[in-house]
Amino acid sequence: MTDNITADVLPRLTRMLRGGQDVRIVLFGSSTIEGVGASTPAHALPAIMQKVLAPFASGGVQVVAHGVGGDDAEAMHARVGAMLADRPDLIVWQTGSNDPLKGDDVAAFVARTRDDLATMRASGADVVLMDQQYCPVLETCPAFPAFRDAVHHVAAQDHVPLFTRYVRMKSWCTELGLSPLDLSPDGLHLNDHGYRLLGEALAAWLIELTGLPGGVASCYQGGGA
C-alpha cells in the first residue's frame, strides 16, 4: 500500500481530528526523526509538521520525536516500549536507512519490522511507514535497493500506509532543479530545506488520508525556497 491511497485508512486519527480531540503523533526512527542536520529544533520535522497540522486539529495536536541517529531495526526494537509509553494516536515509523549501511540481513530486517508493526498496532494507534531518503550515501550502498524494496514489501504485505519519501525526494530534485546535496549536504542527513519539504509533504499526506475538508491544497505550500 503506497502513498496514493485516499480511503479512510487512519481511523483513529480521522476520528479524533473530526471529533475535535487532542491528537498525539509520535515520530519514531533514526536520524531523520532526531533532527540530525537541522540548524535548530524549529527547523526539524516535529515542529514543521505541528505547524502544518495545527489548523486541522481544533482540539490541539502535539508531534513528538523518538529518534536516535544510527539506529537500525534491532536498536529501534529495543525502544518500541518506551515509544508506546508516550501513548501515541498515530505513529510515523521511519526505518531501513542504517540497516544496509551496517551490513544487516534483509530477511531479519523484514521479520523484525513485521513483529514490531504488530506490537505498535496492538496498542490501538494508527501506524504508517516512511521509506528511506534519496541521498548519495545510500545510492552508493550496494545493499540499499534490497532494503528499500523490503520496506515497500512489508507495507504491502501488512496493509500499512507507506509514505514514499525516496520517490518524493527524487522528484523534488527534478522539479526544483536541486542536487541531492542541496537537501543532504553531508550526503545522508537533511538540512533545513530538506526537513521543510519533508515535513510539509508528510503532514499534507496525513491530512489527505483522513479525508478532512481543505486537504492538501490548503496545508502544503510546496517547494519554495
pLDDT in tens, 47-58: 999 999 999 999
Name the phi and psi angles at 31, rounded to 5: -65, -35
What pLDDT digit, counting tens, does each position of 4-13 carry?
A: 444 478 999 9
What is the rounded CA–CA span in Å between residue 94 and residue 96?
A: 7
Q: What is the mean pLDDT of the chain?
A: 92
pLDDT band at 218 (very low <50, low <70, confident <90, very high): very low
DSSP state of 58: T
Give the closest residue to 165 by CA, choosing from 199, 137, 118, 192.
Answer: 199
CATH fold, domain 11-214, is Rossmann fold (3.40.50)
> Which of 137-141, 163-167, 221-225 shows the lowest per-residue confidence on average (mean pLDDT)?
221-225
What is the rounded CA–CA span in Å between residue 65 and residue 54?
A: 17
**Helices (H), ranges, the chain:** 11-18, 31-34, 45-53, 73-77, 80-84, 98-101, 106-122, 136-139, 144-157, 165-176, 180-183, 192-210, 215-219
pLDDT for 17: 94
Whether the model pTM is above 0.75 = yes
pLDDT band at 128 (very low <50, low <70, confident <90, very high): very high
